[in-house]
Amino acid sequence: MNYYELGEKFLEQQQWEEAVTSYRQAIKLNPTFSWSYYKLGQALTQLQKWEEAITTYQKSIELNSNFPWSYHHLGNALLQLEKWEEAVNAYRNFLKLNSDNYWAYHKLGDALFKIGEFDAAIIYYQKAIRLNPEIKGTHQKLADILFQIGKLEAAEIAYRHTIKLNPEVVWYRQCLGDVLLRQKRLDEAIATYLEIAQITPNQTWMHLQLGDAFAQLCQSNLDETINYYCQAIKNPNQYPIYQKSLYLIKTNPELYLELGNYLAQENQIYGAVIIYYLLLEILPSQINIHQQLDQIFRQKIKLEQQLNTFYSAVKTEGDSQSYYNLGLALTKQQKWLEATIVYHRAIELNPDFAWWSDIRLWETFRKQGKLQKIVDLFQEFINHSNNSLCRYLNLAEALTQVNRNTEAIEIYQTASQQQIQQNYPNFFLKSQKLPQISGPNFLVIGVKKGGTTSIYNYLIQHPQILPGIKKEIDFWSSYFHRGLDWYRAHFPAIPESEKLLTGEASPSYFDSPDSPSRLFHFFPEIKLIVLLRNPADRTISSYYHEVRLKAENISVEEVINSRLEKLIKISSSLAREKDYWNYRGDYIASSVYLDWLKEWLNIFPREQLLILCSEEFYSDPKTTMKQVFNFLDLPDYQIKDYPTFNAGSYASISKSLRQKLNDYFHSHNKRLEEYLGMKFGW
C-alpha cells in the first residue's frame, strides 16, 4: 500500500494526524499530484490548522485549477481566519466551475456581508435560496441584512420563510414583530409579541417592543383601544389576527399577569392597562388584578403630575432645555406625537446643540414618520451663514436617518474641513485638495465609564493628532451597515508625508462581538487603547449613567441582584468566553473584562493593544499620557491641565451590595491579571 492509499485509510478512520503524515510522504514522492494536496488540506482542516490548510489548497489549485472543491475548501479555511476578501475570491472561482451549488452562494454571501458589501451579499443569498428554498440559515441572514438597511417589506418575507423553516426559534418571531412594528402594522406586531410571550415569557426586549406597539395603537384614545381588545377576547373569531394569542391569554392568565406587571414596572402604561383589562375579562373576580390596575392608574397620575411640572417649566422658561426635558418626559410616557412637536421646538430654539447624539430623539421622529420633516428643518439652518459644527453634524445625521448617505457624507466632509480650518489653520491650507484618508490610526475602544472621554480629550491636545468630528462614532459596533465611506467622512484627510494621526473613542466597541473582526479586516495595523476600571466601580457608574439619561428606572439594588442571579449561573470554571457575549451591554457582564479582551487579542497582535488601568490613569494622568504617546510613536507632549471629563456623582451603594459585586468579580479579576501579566489591585 502506498502513502496516498494509507492516507485515505486514515481519513476514513478519522485519524487526522496519521493522515497528514501519510499525505506529506506521498507529496515528497510525487510533488505534482494535486489530489494529495487536496486530501492533505482536508486532514489539516479537521485539525483546524487553517494556515497550513490554506497553503495546501492553494498548491492543489496551482497544479489543477479546474477542480472546483479546492476553491470551496480554501474559501472555508479563509473564512475561519476572517480573511474575507480572499474568501470571496475563492468562492467566486468555485462558482465559475460549479454554478449550481447553493451552499457556495450562501458562504459567498457570508464573506461579502463581513466586508460590508450588503447589496452583493443579498444577491448571493437570494441565489442560494433559488437553488434550495429549504436552506434555513440563508433566509435568516438575508432577512437580517434587509432589515438593517431598511428594506422592510423584503425583510418581512424573508423572516416569514425563516420562521416556517425554523418554527422552534423564537428570536425569528421577535425579529418579525420588530419589522411589523417599524412598518406600523401594529395589530400584527402586537399579536406576534403576545405569541412570543407565551413561548418565552422572559424576553425583556420583546416586552418593551410590545409596550411600544400598544402605546402607538392607543395614541388617539386609550378607552377605544381597551374596548377593541375586550371585544376581541369575547369574540376572537371576529378578530383573526388575534385568535391564537387571545386563546393563549385565556389558557395561561398567570403568565400575562406577569407580563402586565413587567410593563407597569417599565412605565409601559398603555400596554399594562390593556393586559390588565384583558385579564379582567377572563378573571373578573381576581382582586390582585384590580389592585394592579389601581396601582398603575396611580402611577399614571404621578407621571402626569411630573409632566405638568415640565409643561410649567416650558411656560416660565421657554428655552430649548425646558422643551427638551418635556420631550423626554413625553417619550417616557410613550406620547410620541406630542414628543415630536416638543422636540421640534427645542431644535428650533437651539440648532447648535448636539442633537445628532440623541438616539431617543431620532427614534421618536421615526415612530411618527417625521424624519423628513427634521431633515428639512436642519437644512434650513445650514442655509444660514456662520454655521456651527453641530449644525453640520445634525443635518448629516438626519440625512443618514433617511438613508441619504451620499449627501450625509458630503456634509460630514464639510464639517471636518470647517473644524480643521478653525483649529488647525496652517494644516487647512495644505489639506484643501487632499483625497479622503483611508481611516483612523488609533481607536480608544473602551471601557464604558472607564475614562475614555478624558483620555480622548487629552489625546487631541497633542499637536500631531487631528481629531475626528465626533469622539464616538460607534461604526464598528452599531452602524457598520452605513458603509466605510460614511465612516471615513468623519476624519480629516491627511497625506502620508505629514506625521499626523487621527482617531476616535467609542467604548461600545469593547463588548461588541463583531467589532474586532470587522476592524481588523479594514485596518489590521490600527493601534487600540483600552482603559480598565475596577469592575465593581464601573458597574455602578454605568448604572447611574443610564439613570441620568432617564433610561433606567429600577433601583440599583434590584438591578444588581437580579443580574447577579442570572450571571452567577455561568460558572467561571465552565464558562466559554462567548457565554458573556450573549449579555453585551449588561452592567455586570461587560465588566468581566477578560472574556471580552480575548476576542480582541485572538485577532489583533498584543503589541497593537495598550491596556491601561483607569485608577492609575486618574491618579497620574501625566505619566499615563506619556505612555500613550509613546505607544502611538509620538513625542511626549506636556498638557497644561488634566480635568476629568464626563464624571458622574451618585450616592454610595450599601456595603453588602458592594461585597456581592466584589465577590463575583474576584475570580474574574484574578484570571485577567494572570492572562495579561498585569496587576490592577482591585
The model's pLDDT over 180-201, given as tens digits with 9 standing for 90+, comes to 999 999 999 999 998 888 888 7
Q: Which helix (H) or strand (E) holds 504?
A: strand 501-505
pLDDT single digits (tens) 62-95: 999 999 999 999 999 999 998 999 999 999 999 9
Which of these, 445, 470, 453, lies nearest to 523 by C-alpha position? Answer: 445
- Please write down the HEC assignment for all residues of 592-618: CHHHHHHHHHCCCCHHHEEEEEHHHHH
User: Residue 634: enclosing H or E segment and its boundaries?
Assistant: none
Q: Starting at the edge strand that comes first in sequence, how are the strands of the sheet with 501-505 ordered?
A: 465-467, 501-505, 442-446, 527-532, 609-613
Residue 585 has what pLDDT?
60
CA distance 473 to 492: 14
| Neighbouring residues of 663: CB distance < 8 A, sequence distance ≥ 6 | none
DSSP string, 278-323: HHHHH-TT-HHHHHHHHHHHHHHHHHHHHHHHHHHHHHHT-SHHHH
What pLDDT does 299 receive?
86
The answer on pLDDT for 572 being more than 60 is: no
Distance CA 179, CA 177 (A): 5
Per-residue pLDDT at 175 = 94
Contact at 8 Å (CB) between 78 and 46? no
Could you give the CA distance from residue 323 to residue 310 in angstroms, rounded to a whole number? 8
Q: What percentage of the chain reaches a pLDDT higher than 90?
A: 65
CB atoms under 10 Å from CB of 241, counted, come to 15
Residue 248: band (very low, low, confident or very high) from pLDDT cuts 50, 70, 90: confident
The answer to whether residues 419 and 410 touch, using CB atoms and an 8 Å cutoff, is: no
Q: What's the pLDDT band for 472 if we cut at 50, 70, 90?
A: very high
Integer Cα distance of 661 and 588 in angstroms: 8
pLDDT (0 to 100) of residue 484 = 93
pLDDT number for residue 485: 93
d(CA 209, CA 211) in angstroms, rounded, equals 5
Which of 627, 623, 633 has its CA nearest to residue 500? 633
- Asked if 602 and 515 touch (Cβ cutoff 8 Å), the reply is no
567 or 375: whose pLDDT is higher?
375
Residue 82 per-residue DSSP state: T
State whether residue 527 is helix, strand or coil: strand
pLDDT of residue 333: 83
> Which amino acid is located at 310 in the chain?
F
What is the spatial distance between Cα 92 and Cα 84, in angstroms, rounded to a whole number? 12
Q: What is the pLDDT of residues 640-667, one digit of tens each?
A: 899 888 777 777 888 999 999 999 999 9
Among 13, 77, 68, 92, smallest CA distance to 44 is for 77
> How many whole angstroms separate alpha carbon 311 and alpha carbon 526?
49
C-alpha 297: how far from chain center: 35
The cell for 616 is 492609575
Residues 20, 28: Cα–Cα separation, whole Å = 12
Residues 6+ apart with CB under 8 A from 9: 1
The H or E element containing residue 237 is none
| Confidence check: pLDDT of 492 > 80 | yes
Q: How far is CA 608 from CA 366, 373, 516, 602, 673, in A?
A: 40, 45, 12, 12, 19
The strand pairing partners of 465, in sequence order, are 501
Distance CA 673, CA 295 (A): 49
The number of helices, as runs of H, and strands, as runs of E, in the chain is: 36, 5
Question: Is the backbone peptide bond immediately before 547 cis, with ω within 30 degrees of 0?
Answer: no
What average pLDDT does range 565-588 have in this prediction? 58
**Would you call 502 helix, strand, or coil by DSSP?**
strand
The predicted-structure confidence for 502-552, as pLDDT tens digits, reads as follows: 999 999 999 998 999 999 999 999 999 999 999 999 999 998 888 887 777
Tell me the pLDDT of the chain averaged across its residues: 90
List Cα–Cα distances, 429 to 410, 413, 426, 678, in angstroms: 19, 16, 6, 45
Give strand ranges (E) for 419-473.
442-446, 465-467
Rounded distance, CA 350 to CA 394, Å?
12
338 has a pLDDT exceeding 90: yes
Alpha carbon separation from 156 to 159, 174, 185, 244, 626 (Å, rounded):
5, 11, 12, 20, 53
Q: Which secondary structure element, helix H or strand E, spans residue 532, and what is its range?
A: strand 527-532
Q: Which residues contact 495 (CB under 8 A, 6 or more apart)?
A: 430, 431, 434
Q: Which residues contact 620 (CB under 8 A, 6 or more apart)?
A: none
> Under DSSP, is residue 650 helix (H, G, I), strand (E, B) or coil?
coil
Residues 6+ apart with CB under 8 A from 191: 241, 242, 244, 245
The pLDDT of residue 311 is above 80 = yes
Would you state the pLDDT for residue 576?
43
Instruction: Give the lowest-confidence range in 69-83, 232-246, 271-285.
Output: 232-246
Domains of the chain: 3-248 (1.25.40.10), 317-429 (1.25.40.10), 434-676 (3.40.50.300)
Cβ atoms of 256 and 276 closer than 8 Å? no
Per-residue pLDDT tens over the stretch 136-180:
899 999 999 999 999 999 999 999 999 999 998 889 999 999 999
Average pLDDT in the 413-433 region? 76
| pLDDT given for residue 581 in this prediction | 43
Percent above pLDDT 70 for the chain: 95
d(CA 194, CA 235): 17
CA angle, residues 545, 512, 129, in degrees to nearest 5: 135
Rounded to the nearest 10 degrees, how much is the dihedral formed by the CA atoms of 288, 291, 293, 299? Answer: -130
